[in-house]
Structure 1
């Protein structure tokens, strides 16, 4: 059984316990504490906190979001450290980060693997309890209880069947994705979630633009499904943009098309960035997906709600386009920064 120690947040802003088999960030979120975060993987730096007293268990290596200078000043990433004694920390909490369904750890069985493109498949997992999350959230998957974890977005919506669907891109030689793609059905996979703040918000009465690239299709499909099943989009428009390198890298958008009866209007735009596809008969848009969005949609830009998911360069370029060029307010743009 894991040893458990208390963590106090300075100025009376909260308290939670962390086990030796957990990290500070996820223990806080499990306890309903609004600890700031984005990637949950040590790359964004959003969960950095100040250690005031106590002892932490700190990995020897550094990620791009931390430095030896940070550590010398007592600043650590909550998603990477545990605690070996009672601690007091300083962090600015925000209830925005408290999930409607508090994260939990459980094991699910691999039920099916459905190939979508040559290097992208949908993994169907079944848990013994209902799949509780908000459409657009993500979970951490691991192949063993104490093994490496990777972040993947759910592609489906909450359900009582205990079904969790993840669309995963296979990385050649990937330390996690290669073994994952070789798993036989029936294998147990460890799930930790849900996490993320870029979930569907159907109650906001605006048209919606979803922009996805690569395996970001998983999160945007979940968002689109969540909006559709809410019953609140029947007089609103959903534009769904998907960008892939080549046409062969683009999954079928039938799952998006099937949502049309529950939407006022649905527009789907596929974008390919490799020019040779044009020579092979592709007559659709080419280039980077954010550039196509900028040309295709004429506005008014601030009258929409935006959801983004994909490779970091795509997300960053889209953010620059929306915020700087199109003057879209930050609060109308939803994304989880993955690396």
Structure 2
């Protein structure tokens, strides 16, 4: 029999079937809860169990610590109900209004932007249009049923192909295929839109965009959406990478800084070498934010990229620099390796 789940903050209720993850049940019934990977690796769907019993299934240790478990925290993407529940988790407006669909697509272009980064452009079938929020992601459905997630780098208003930024992970089943065998006109299948990483337009706070590596992809979609909507809030983009070549669309970000009022771009390299002739900022990209903005109490932050960067930024910004916890939005780029040793 199904169990009832009550959301503490709003009082809204939904039902969850036995063995069904709480997150899946909420999304199935049009209730927006925060999530990213949906496999226990990123921690985006973390919340508190106020009353009732759950079974917490395998997840990455970094996503939910033992201390958090003892304090009643749970990852709702991999938690099932054992009784009626009351839970405390931030609700996300707007996500339930966009239909999640499975669609085929044709590879329109494969553009190499760095040794290990391609921009992949996908053409939808004629008369098909995907509705999504800038910053959301899609999941490729591979022939064996496994899935791989990539953020959409094109903004929703863009009439052209869907754009993805894919970094080669040597040994990765999908990226080895993309870099070794995929060719134009090949057919792929995906499900979208997914995720709760998108610009909250009901605020007037200055925006800090924080990206590492190909975490620039959803940030690009958010910036282009903000430009299209003529959003006047100050925006500062911090993009971090190891080497200059890893800032694979730096010219585009520099052009935004020239053309867009109230937009600032700060590139940061952690390991520049002599060949880079780098005179810009160095170190960890989230530390550059702190150096420039030691008081983040009046800002919103959108962070995307490597899990270690996202986790460090969330911890340091919230604990030491005044950022309200509910003004930090993140998309942590987890991979299969992040679940190699689940707990």
TM-score scaled to structure 2, two decimals?
0.76
Aligned to 1:325: 320
Aligned to 1:208: 207
Q: How many residues align?
A: 316
The Cα of 1:255 is off from its aligned counterpart by 3.0
Please say if 1:276 is aligned against 2:273. Answer: yes
* Distance in 1 (alpha carbons) for counterparts of 2:283 and 2:76: 38
For structure 2, which runs of at least 5 residues remain unmatched after alignment?
7-11, 66-72, 335-343
Question: Are the aligned partners of 1:49 and 1:89 in contact in 2 as well (CA < 8 Å)?
Answer: no
CA RMSD of the aligned region, Å?
3.8
Could you say what secondary structure the match of 1:179 adopts?
Answer: helix
The CA deviation string for residues 52-89 of structure 1, in whole angstroms up to 9 with x for no partner, is 99xx9x99x7654689xxxxxxx997646999xxx976
The Cα of 1:332 is off from its aligned counterpart by 2.3
* Distance in 2 (alpha carbons) for counterparts of 1:290 and 1:174: 28
* Distance in 2 (alpha carbons) for counterparts of 1:179 and 1:23: 31
Question: Are the aligned partners of 2:98 and 2:131 in contact in 1 as well (CA < 8 Å)?
Answer: no
Aligned to 1:176: 174
Specify whether residues 271 and 265 from structure 1 end up closer, same or farther in structure 2 by C-alpha distance, changes over 3 A only.
Answer: same
Q: What is the correspondence of 1:1-339 to structure 2 with a 5 Å cutoff? A: 8-10=3-5, 13-15=13-15, 25-26=23-24, 28-35=26-33, 37-44=35-42, 46=45, 64=61, 79=77, 90=85, 92=87, 95-96=91-92, 99-109=95-105, 110-128=107-125, 129-144=128-143, 147-159=145-157, 161=159, 163-181=161-179, 182-233=181-232, 236-259=233-256, 263-277=260-274, 280-295=276-291, 297-298=292-293, 300-339=295-334
Comparing 300-309 with 114-123, greater Cα deviation is found at 300-309
Comparing 198-207 with 98-107, greater Cα deviation is found at 98-107
Aligned to 1:72: none
* Distance in 2 (alpha carbons) for counterparts of 1:66 and 1:287: 28
Could you say what secondary structure the match of 1:335 adopts?
Answer: strand
Could you say what secondary structure the match of 2:95 adopts?
Answer: coil
TM-score scaled to structure 1, two decimals?
0.77
For structure 1, which runs of at least 5 residues remain unmatched after alignment?
1-5, 68-74
* Distance in 2 (alpha carbons) for counterparts of 1:63 and 1:267: 35
* Distance in 2 (alpha carbons) for counterparts of 1:156 and 1:267: 20
Question: Are the aligned partners of 2:257 and 2:265 in contact in 1 as well (CA < 8 Å)?
Answer: no
Question: Are the aligned partners of 2:140 and 2:189 in contact in 1 as well (CA < 8 Å)?
Answer: yes
Could you say what secondary structure the match of 2:185 adopts?
Answer: coil
* Distance in 2 (alpha carbons) for counterparts of 1:237 and 1:14: 38
